[in-house]
Amino acid sequence: MRAAATLVWLSLLLAACGGRAPALPAAQAAAPAPGPATTRAETIDAPREQSFDGVLEAVNQSTVSAQTSGRIVELPVDVNDAVRKGDVLAAVRDAEPRAQLQAAQAALRQAQADYLRVKQVFDRKLIAQAQMDRATAARDTAQAAVDAAAEQQEHALIRAPFAGIVTARPVELGELATPGRPIVTLLSLDRLRAVVDVPQQFVGAVRAGGSAQVVLPDGAALDAAALHIFPYADEHAHTFRVRAELPAAGVHDVYPGELVKVVFRLGARRALAVPQAALAYRGEVTGLYVAGAAARLEFRAVRAGAALPGGRVEIVAGLDPGEAVADDPVAAAALVRRQNGDTP
């Protein structure tokens, strides 16, 4: 009798400890998990653009040549040296120009002394006006000769026309410099521009648009400060050369010769836009999670176009205006798996 009571008591205790939790109400158990937020695709005004490859070049670049003859006696710069405006790039032996200057200065001193003597006599009304005019002309001629000789001697010093970097120096110390012979090639990094050849079918729209962006190798885009379109086409390539100047302010960390893209704004167009973050990638396939019937999501392959302002992207094919797409493709993919009965 006591054993039977003990068994009954143990049975009740196990039932109390191992019983199931109370069942949830049917409506609460059947409530679906909330889906990701969606955005409807809409058609907006987007810029119509056309891009071409271009090359950077310096706005200020020149080959500095000798203006007088003589042996090169100083050559203080070499390739890759930075120079300031007015710095001496080379010096030519100036013995002959210096002698010419000294002779001209001596002639000027004599002419000035003659002028002063004639003027004293003229002031006393003892000579004619013609004699005074000849003395004045002789003094002025001597002064002009001194100025010309000083200029010729200054040509013996070849100076930098602007601040920049030496990119070539085709002469060596001791060589003979002659008028017109290249001594140093300079370029300045202060102002750069992109040079691009635009096909003739686009040049009319480029002229009408009048603006462009220069996309640098690191992806940064700069608005062109000015556009200069050549007034004629290349007779072989049938293209028009366009120069797009980079803004002078700021350090862009680019150099002449680098490849860039020049994007010309040609007007406006209509484009179907969705959030850039809504794009999902499955291998090489780009798609969107689109809300269909009964708010069920499905993955749909689309063809994406250009990036648009406001963090949006153009959809070229695969989507219609007004369709809702999931903003979060990761959450949408998880929901689709649950819809299809797959375990996460």
Please report the DSSP string for 48-66 in residue order: EEEEEEEEEEESSEEEEE-
Neighbours of 266 (CB within 10 A): 18
pLDDT at res. 47: 80
Compute the distance between CA of residue 16 and CA of residue 241 in angstroms, rounded to an integer.
90
Mean pLDDT of 163-188: 92
- Categorize the per-residue pLDDT at 203 as very low, low, confident or very high, splitting at 50, 70 and 90: very high
Range 203-232 average pLDDT:
91
For residue 112, the one-letter residue type is: Q
Give the pLDDT score at 6: 44
CB neighbourhood size of 321 (10 A): 12
pLDDT confidence of residue 251: 62
- pLDDT grade, residue 342 (50/70/90)? low
The residues, any chain, with a CB within 8 Å of residue 175's CB and separated by 6 or more, are 71, 72
pLDDT in tens, 60-73: 999 999 988 889 99
- The mean pLDDT of 277-285, rounded to a whole number, is 91
CA distances (Å), origin 107, targets 41, 142, 143, 149, 301: 89, 6, 9, 12, 92
Quote the pLDDT of residue 33: 53
CA distance from start to end of the chain? 55
pTM above 0.85, yes or no: no
- Select from 146, 148, 45 the least CA-distant residue to 104: 146
How much is the pLDDT for 236? 94
Cβ(326)–Cβ(336) below 8 Å:
no
Q: Bigger pLDDT: 144 or 47?
A: 144
Any residues with CB less than 8 A from the CB of 85 and at least 6 apart, and which?
160, 161, 162, 163
Residues 6-23: tens digit of each pLDDT: 444 444 444 444 444 444
Domains annotated on the chain, with CATH: 46-58+191-339 (2.40.30.170), 66-92+156-186 (2.40.50.100), 94-154 (1.10.287.470)
> For residue 310, is it left (φ>0), alpha (ψ between -120 and 50) or beta?
left
129-154 helix and 95-123 helix, angle to the nearest 10 degrees: 160
Residues sharing a CB contact under 8 Å with residue 277, sequence separation 6 or more, in sequence order? 311, 327, 328, 329
How many Cβ atoms are within 10 Å of 275's Cβ, its own excluded?
Answer: 17
Given a contact cutoff of 8 angstroms between Cβ atoms, the answer to whether 230 and 240 are in contact is yes
State pLDDT tens for residues 103-147.
888 988 998 998 898 888 888 888 888 888 888 999 999 899 888
